[in-house]
Amino acid sequence: MTPAAPTVSPAPRDANRPTGILFVCLGNICRSPAAEGVFLHLIRRQGLEQAFTVDSAGTGDWHVGRPADARMRSAAARRGIVLPSRARQITPGDLNRFDHVLTMDRQNLTAVRILAGPGAAAQITPITRYCSRHSIEEVPDPYYGGEEGFDRVLDLLEDACGGLLEALMAERAGG
């Protein structure tokens, strides 16, 4: 049985300010831009664009300035999801600018926590904690695999982002 998504508890913030969400993977061309696109798709469908600021970044700088991997863009497009971002590397400032930083795997989680140090305001969490249909600890990197890996990542991210949005909306409603 998959455990329920945890209650989201960011640092105290102005309730009128959009909630900042940053998705993080290794190079910011597959998983994190896909998570960003999925989350943007979900909030657009519900008319919640003004409630959130959404971005993605990588822990590495190899792909800075590039669009998401063409295979991920193609897989997302088949689902009606647009991946608008360009790769960038996470910065220490991101950990105070965003309320929630969601990582794709243990390596990213460790790198972000090291970058954050003791004083960061953001809540740093593995995205998979919000999955309700899949019992998985990490979102696998599809970069070196076949096309099916990109669809699998999108399946996982649709589940996780849906759970994340549900938890964030419950928190915004005060419960």
Half-sphere exposure of 14 (CA within 13 A, CB side): 5
E-strand ranges in the chain read 19-25, 52-58, 100-103, 123-126
Amino acid at position 94, single letter: D
- Catalytic pick from 55, 69, 99, 141? 141
| 25 given a catalytic annotation | yes
- Catalytic pick from 31, 71, 73, 88? 31
Token digits of residue 158: 């649709």
State CA 25 to chain mean position distance. Answer: 8
Helices 31-45 + 147-172 axis angle, to 10? 50
| 30 given a catalytic annotation | no
- Catalytic pick from 25, 30, 131, 161? 25
Q: For the CA atoms of 40, 37, 133, 172, what is the dihedral angle to 10 degrees?
A: -30
- Which of these, 2, 8, 4, lies nearest to 165 by C-alpha position? 8
Q: Which residues are catalytic?
A: 25, 31, 141
